[in-house]
């Protein structure tokens, strides 16, 4: 009488047996089943990643570094970005590729005797650079300082109400476009670099979002997109540039670009035009007749955190 074991262990005739199931121990089947279950559980666990994939596109994934793009590549990229802006934000935008004007190096100065901390520059930056509306994001932070000290430990950014307050002066801080920028040194993928006119720029489509530059910056100049920026279609500033104020994707770092979409076309930055007290001065330091040159030659100018050796292109002075 054939035993159960015998019939199991002896192979059936080859025409009827499934080869893969010959002599497979039960243990293996059980292990296989659990492995499949585990794999399925893993796929289910990471299923939100599908949304990440749908947010991106193969063209965006494969896009090379800005400096490696040919003019045709750039045109394709910009066309794609304009299309995405239309889809995501409902706004018709024009993204330029503004290159530095030869013979320029931009320098900024603020007159601390005149700044009264009203924050219109902060708001203008917010609007000009298509920042997230919910957080009132801006590249500029204004510190209310007690008169007689430059120690920011005694300052505060959460002031409000009527300004200027008695015995206080106001210190707006934004990216200093340093000549020795620590942020450029630390980026592992060279997503940020200093251009010939002094502006330190970020390729938002190359940045991997490690935030090392944000840790390295001594001036709190960098911002990270913790979420997708939300800007209503009618508030989108449509005059955009690839390296500056196009609406940035989630997960990348950004910073003040001295409004290069304006300044590289000869215009003044948005913060300067918005300043009601006229505390801000901007220009090309290489032009002997420029306003900024006169300030550096005639006013007693200071820079922040000079001891760090960052060599900012941003100066502060008192009348």
Partner 1 sequence: MRFTSFVLIGIACIVGAVLFRDQTQATSTLEPHTERELAESISSDYQGPAVGANPAREPPVHAVIVHKPAGPPTVRLASVDPQQRLAEVACSTCHSVRPPNLENRLSTALDEFHQGLEFSHGELACYACHNPSNADTLRLADGSAVEYAEVLTLCTQCHSKQAESFAHGAHGGMNGFWDLSRGPQSKNNCIDCHDPHAPTYPQMTVTFKPKDRFNSAEDSHAHQK
Partner 2 sequence: MSSSAHSSSTSPTRSSALLSYPGFLAKALWLATEGSLLFYAWMTLLTALMLVGANAWANQAAGGMINTNMTDHVSWGLYIANFTFCVGLAAGGVMMVIPAYLYDDEEMHQVVIIGEAVAIAAIVMCTLSVVVDLGRPDRFWHLIPGIGKFNWPMSMLTWDVIVLNGYLVINLHIVGYLLYMRYLGRKPNPVWYLPFVFLSIFWAISIHTVTAFLYCGLGGRPFWNTALLAPRFLASAFVSGPAFILLVMRVLRITTGYTAPPGPARTLIQIIRIAMVVNLVMLASEIFTLFYTGGAHASSAQYLFFGAHGRYGLVPWIWTAIGLNLAGTFLFFLPAAMERSTTRIVACLFCIVGIWIEKGMGLIIPGFIPSTLHEVVEYSPSLVEWKVTVGIWALGLIVLTLILKLITEVLAGRVTTSPTAEG
153-182 residues in contact with partner 1 (CB under 8 A) are: 154, 156-164, 179-180
| 275: contact with partner 1 by CB under 8 A | yes
The Cα 81–Cα 10 span in angstroms is 66
Instruction: Find tokens 């220009």 and name the residue.
Output: 283
> Which of these ranges, 71-79, 108-116, 220-228, 278-286, lies near partner 2 under the rule CB under 8 A?
220-228
Among positions 12, 215, 238, 306, the unique one binding partner 2 when judged by CB under 8 A: 215
Which entry of partner 1, partner 2, none binds 241, CB below 5 to 8 A by partner kind? Answer: none
| 308: contact with partner 1 by CB under 8 A | no
The Cα 96–Cα 239 span in angstroms is 8
* Integer CA distances (angstroms), 49 to 65, 248, 297, in order: 24, 20, 56
> Which of these ranges, 1-9, 15-23, 91-99, 187-195, lies near partner 2 under the rule CB under 8 A?
187-195
Q: Round the CA-based radius of gyration of the chain to a whole number and report it.
A: 29
Under rule CB under 8 A, which residues in 1-60 are in contact with partner 2?
Answer: 31, 34-35, 38, 41-42, 44-49, 51-52, 56
The Cα 311–Cα 301 span in angstroms is 13
Asked whether 116 and 170 are in contact (CB, 8 A), the reply is yes
- Closest CB 230 distance from partner 2, rounded Å: 11
| 149: contact with partner 2 by CB under 8 A | no
How many residues bind partner 2 (CB under 8 A)? The answer is 62
- Closest CB 225 distance from partner 2, rounded Å: 7
| 304: contact with partner 1 by CB under 8 A | no
Among positions 66, 78, 81, 104, the unique one binding partner 1 when judged by CB under 8 A: 104
Among positions 95, 207, 247, 271, the unique one binding partner 2 when judged by CB under 8 A: 207
Residue number with CB closer to partner 2 (164 or 218):
218
The Cα 149–Cα 162 span in angstroms is 22
Under rule CB under 8 A, which residues in 258-287 are in contact with partner 2?
Answer: none
Which entry of partner 2, partner 1, none binds 172, CB below 5 to 8 A by partner kind? Answer: none
Which entry of partner 1, partner 2, none binds 96, CB below 5 to 8 A by partner kind? Answer: none
Name the nearest CA neighbour of 245 among 215, 267, 277: 267
Among positions 63, 77, 116, 255, the unique one binding partner 1 when judged by CB under 8 A: 116
Contacts 24+ apart (CB under 8 A), 282-291: 282/106, 282/107, 282/108, 282/109, 282/258, 283/106, 283/107, 284/103, 284/104, 284/105, 284/106, 284/107, 285/105, 285/106, 285/107, 285/313, 286/103, 286/104, 286/105, 287/104
By CB atoms closer than 10 A (0-12, 13-18, 19+), residue 303 is middle
* Integer CA distances (angstroms), 16 to 6, 11, 24, 53, in order: 17, 10, 16, 45
Instruction: Provide the binding-site residues for partner 2, judged by CB under 8 A.
Output: 31, 34-35, 38, 41-42, 44-49, 51-52, 56, 61, 65, 141, 143, 151-153, 155, 157, 173, 182, 185-191, 206-212, 214-220, 222-228, 250-253, 305, 308-310
């Amino acid at each position: 009488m054939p035993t159960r074991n015998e019939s199991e262990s002896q192979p059936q005739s080859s025409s009827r047996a499934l080869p893969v199931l010959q002599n497979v121990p039960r243990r293996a089947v059980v292990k296989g089943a659990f492995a499949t279950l585990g794999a399925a559980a893993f796929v289910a666990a990471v299923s939100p990643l599908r949304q990440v994939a749908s947010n991106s596109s193969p063209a965006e994934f494969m896009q090379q570094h800005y400096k490696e793009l040919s003019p045709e590549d750039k045109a394709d990229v910009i066309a794609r970005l304009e299309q995405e802006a239309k889809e995501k934000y409902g706004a018709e935008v024009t993204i330029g590729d503004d290159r530095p004007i030869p013979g320029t190096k931009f320098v900024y100065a603020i007159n601390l005797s005149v700044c009264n901390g009203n924050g219109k520059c902060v708001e203008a930056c917010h609007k000009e650079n298509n920042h997230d509306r919910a957080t009132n994001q801006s590249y500029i932070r204004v510190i209310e300082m007690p008169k007689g000290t430059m120690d920011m430990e005694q300052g505060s950014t959460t002031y409000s109400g009527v300004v200027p307050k008695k015995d206080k002066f106001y210190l707006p801080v934004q990216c200093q476009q340093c000549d020795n920028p620590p942020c450029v040194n630390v980026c592992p993928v060279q997503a940020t670099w200093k251009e010939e006119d002094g502006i330190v720029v970020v390729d938002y489509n190359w940045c991997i979002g490690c935030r090392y530059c944000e840790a390295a910056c001594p001036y709190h100049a960098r911002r990270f997109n913790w979420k997708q920026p939300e800007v209503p279609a009618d508030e989108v500033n449509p005059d955009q540039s690839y390296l500056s104020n196009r609406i940035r994707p989630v997960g990348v770092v950004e910073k003040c670009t001295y409004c290069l979409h304006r300044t590289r076309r000869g215009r003044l930055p948005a913060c300067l035009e918005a300043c009601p007290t006229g505390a801000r001065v901007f220009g090309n330091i290489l032009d002997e007749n420029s306003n900024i040159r006169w300030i550096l030659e005639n006013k007693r100018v200071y820079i922040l955190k000079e001891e760090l050796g960052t060599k900012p292109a941003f100066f502060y002075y008192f009348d």
